[in-house]
Amino acid sequence: MKQTILILVLVWGVFFGAASQNRLTVDATQDGPQISKYIYGHFAEHLGRCIYDGIWVGPDSPIPNINGYRKDVFEALKALDIPVLRWPGGCFADTYHWKDGIGPREQRPKIKNVFWGGTVEDNSFGTHEFLNLCEMLGCDAYISANVGSGTVGEMVDWIEYMISDEDVEMANLRRKNGREEPWKVRFLGIGNESWGCGGNMTPEYYANLLRQYSGYAWEYARDRMVRVGCGANGEDYNWTRVLMQNARGNMDALSVHYYTIAGPSWNNKTAATGFGEDLYFSGIRAGLRMEELIRRHSNVMDEYDPRKRVGLYVDEWGIWTDVEPGTNPGFLFQQNSMRDALIAATTFDIFNRNADRVKMANIAQTVNVLQAMILTEGGRMVLTPTYHVFNMYKVHGDATLLKASLITEKYAHGDQSVPAISQTVSRDAEGKVHLSLSNVHPAKEVKLTVAFNGKQPARVNGGSVLTAPAFNAVNTFDKPETVKPAPFMNYKLLASGELEVTLPPRSVITLEMQ
């Protein structure tokens, strides 16, 4: 008899418990940190077709353009409200000498892009072209200074050229080149990946250079520019420790880079398309490692900076796959699937949960490279699934995080599992609450109950959902709308004041409530 009762209890739990185990409890009585809008930032490097063909085609191009900027790409980025754009690299930054990219374009010297495909760079897109683009987009500029092969003097001249309004040589050179007013340049990276392509340095050596470069940057820019120290590669926590020990007073932020690899190794990243559930699952799981990396780097930073004055910038992130067949391996051109959109959504949730320390992130990269927002081919353009996630999540930028407790079922594959549901809840300056949810289970619809402690939203103004026919579905130039947002209505306010949401398989949802 006891055995029969036990079996009945287990059966009841299996069939009826699953519907009630997914529960999100939002604490609306106490504000969390502000989610920086810069978490939704972007990165454009002189790599492959990111700048040329992607952003810049030149004023004489038959492709419709605005003073040389591709019109379709510009309008797509403008609609995305991108908050910050990082340039010129990446590895390219530490071979870039900024004076090569000013003055009449036909007189600018050509250089070899040694890191990315060995192509010839004609420098037709330089300081003026980049900073004018940022002004047109209404976004902040993030400049990466050359520490690997440059000098302190070169960096100081660049700062003066960009932001000085005085009667000094570099500002006058800018005026001679057609720009009277200085630009606003908010962020200055002191080198890039100095542990690797930026100079193969030890953390101790780089910390000394950071102190030197940063000191001069302060003298010439003061607090007009946020000084960003070059941080660690993935889980290199010692790099963070050495910099915080030796140079925390010489930087306002510290970066970290982490790329998601779905395949077994860097030498076998696997294809961006046509993959099965094994690589779908491993991609989602690898993306979720961002949580551990951020928390462990933050823990090290907390030891030396408990007041969290120094921000953590994840200024390169995203999934890195094998290049598309038939393309230049050095151009890093890859497709972008529904899996990648879910990696973006769950990564944003991680950044948002850690918004007390994470103050910026920059997807790698904006156009035609790695996990891009936009792909171009000749005169055609396509928006990727990741673009749509950015558009759905931008409502959280500069909003107040509402702390929430999530109980979720697992998505199991083989003998491993990950949480099926991920979330962000925030309240904007107008008092609207935005709830973003994702369901990474590739085949199962999931029901979630959302309860608010404190003030409960009276209504749902509407929502959108991004899903796809398959987890490896992509948008192509011939079929550009296979993966795109649609209105979402599969929710209801219960008499108890709770909200019940039914999430389709492999989906991202954002709801607006008041």
% of the chain beyond a pLDDT of 90: 93
* Contact (Cβ atoms closer than 8 angstroms) between residue 235 and residue 221: no
Reported in sequence order, the residue ranges of 50-170 that DSSP labels E, i.e. its strands, are 65-66, 69-70, 84-87, 111-112, 120-121, 140-145
CA distance 11 to 171: 76
DSSP 3-state of 129: helix
Give residue-wise pLDDT tens across range 6-49.
343 343 344 444 445 899 999 989 899 999 999 999 999 999 99
Q: Which residue, 397, 412, 435, sits at the end of a domain? A: 397
pLDDT at 471 over 80: yes
Q: Read off φ and ψ for residue 429, nearest 5 degrees.
A: -65, -20
Quick check: is 282 in a domain?
yes
Quick check: is 222 in a domain?
yes
The CATH number of whichever domain residue 345 belongs to comes to 3.20.20.80
Model pLDDT, residue 4:
41
Model pLDDT, residue 125:
98
3-7, 61-65, 122-126, 129-133: least confident range: 3-7
- Tell me the mean pLDDT in the region 228-241: 98
Model pLDDT, residue 344:
98
Say whether both 383 and 423 belong to one domain: no
Say whether both 421 and 382 belong to one domain: no
Q: What is the DSSP string of 294-321?
A: HHHHHHHHHHH-TT--SEEEEEEEEE--
Q: Read off φ and ψ for residue 211, nearest 5 degrees.
A: -60, -40
Q: Which token pair is 499?
A: 């909200």
Say whether both 435 and 377 belong to one domain: no
Residues in the chain: 514
CA distance 199 to 456: 53
Model pLDDT, residue 228:
98
Q: Which token pair is 441?
A: 């289970």
Q: How confident is the model at residue 458 (pLDDT cuts 50, 70, 90)?
A: confident
Q: How confident is the model at residue 489 (pLDDT cuts 50, 70, 90)?
A: very high
CA distance 184 to 303: 33
Q: How many domains does the chain have?
A: 2
CA distance 160 to 166: 9
Model pLDDT, residue 122:
97
Expressed in angstroms, the distance from the first to the final Cα of the chain is 52
pLDDT at 312 over 50: yes
Say whether both 161 and 28 belong to one domain: no
CA distance 227 to 159: 12
Q: What is the DSSP string of 418-471?
A: EESEEEEEEE-TTS-EEEEEEE--SS--EEEEEEEESSPPS-EEEEEEE--SST
Q: Which token pair is 411?
A: 């998505």
Quick check: is 8 in a domain?
no
CA distance 163 to 183: 5
Quick check: is 130 in a domain?
yes
CA distance 88 to 46: 6
CA distance 334 to 369: 7
- Tell me the mean pLDDT in the region 151-170: 98
- Tell me the mean pLDDT in the region 300-318: 98
CA distance 450 to 424: 12
Model pLDDT, residue 10:
40
Say whether both 193 and 328 belong to one domain: yes
> What is the span of the domain harbouring residue 57?
36-397
* Contact (Cβ atoms closer than 8 angstroms) between residue 91 and residue 195: no
Model pLDDT, residue 1:
43
Helices 290-304 and 277-288 cross at an angle (nearest 10°) of 10
CA distance 246 to 239: 11
* Contact (Cβ atoms closer than 8 angstroms) between residue 321 and residue 472: no
pLDDT at 63 over 60: yes
Say whether both 356 and 482 belong to one domain: no
CA distance 284 to 174: 47
Q: Read off φ and ψ for residue 294, nearest 5 degrees.
A: -65, -45
Say whether both 326 and 235 belong to one domain: yes
Q: Which token pair is 198?
A: 């930026």
Quick check: is 14 in a domain?
no
From residue 385, how far is each of 216, 261, 391, 394, 405 by CA, in Å? 42, 18, 10, 15, 28
Q: Which residue, 397, 427, 462, sits at the end of a domain? A: 397
The CATH number of whichever domain residue 485 belongs to comes to 2.60.40.1180
pLDDT at 496 over 90: no
Average confidence score pLDDT of the chain: 95
- Tell me the mean pLDDT in the region 454-459: 84
CA distance 447 to 108: 59
Cis peptide bond prior to 90, omega within 30° of 0: yes
Say whether both 324 and 456 belong to one domain: no
Contacts 24+ apart (CB under 8 A), 267-272: 269/320, 269/321, 269/322, 270/321, 270/322, 271/321, 271/322, 272/321, 272/322, 272/324, 272/334, 272/335, 272/336, 272/337, 272/340, 272/474
- Tell me the mean pLDDT in the region 297-322: 98
Say whether both 383 and 411 belong to one domain: no
Q: Which residue, 397, 413, 446, sits at the end of a domain? A: 397
Model pLDDT, residue 21:
85
Q: Read off φ and ψ for residue 39, nearest 5 degrees.
A: -60, -25
Task: Report which residue type is found at 290.
Answer: M
Distance of CA 222 to the CA centre of its chain: 27
Quick check: is 372 in a domain?
yes
- Tell me the mean pLDDT in the region 311-320: 98
Ramachandran region, residue 118 (left: φ > 0; alpha: ψ -120 to 50; beta: rest): left
* Contact (Cβ atoms closer than 8 angstroms) between residue 188 and residue 145: yes
**Residue positions annotated with a catalytic role:** 193, 316
More confident residue, 2 or 24: 24
Say whether both 384 and 409 belong to one domain: no
pLDDT at 85 over 50: yes
Quick check: is 7 in a domain?
no
Q: How confident is the model at residue 457 (pLDDT cuts 50, 70, 90)?
A: confident
Model pLDDT, residue 449:
97
CA distance 55 to 109: 21
Give residue-wise pLDDT tens across range 375-392.
999 999 999 999 999 999
From residue 75, how far is each of 65, 78, 133, 381 by CA, in Å? 10, 5, 12, 11
pLDDT at 359 over 90: yes
* Contact (Cβ atoms closer than 8 angstroms) between residue 386 and residue 42: no
- Tell me the mean pLDDT in the region 448-466: 92
Model pLDDT, residue 497:
86
Quick check: is 11 in a domain?
no
Say whether both 385 and 410 belong to one domain: no
pLDDT at 370 over 50: yes
Say whether both 368 and 408 belong to one domain: no
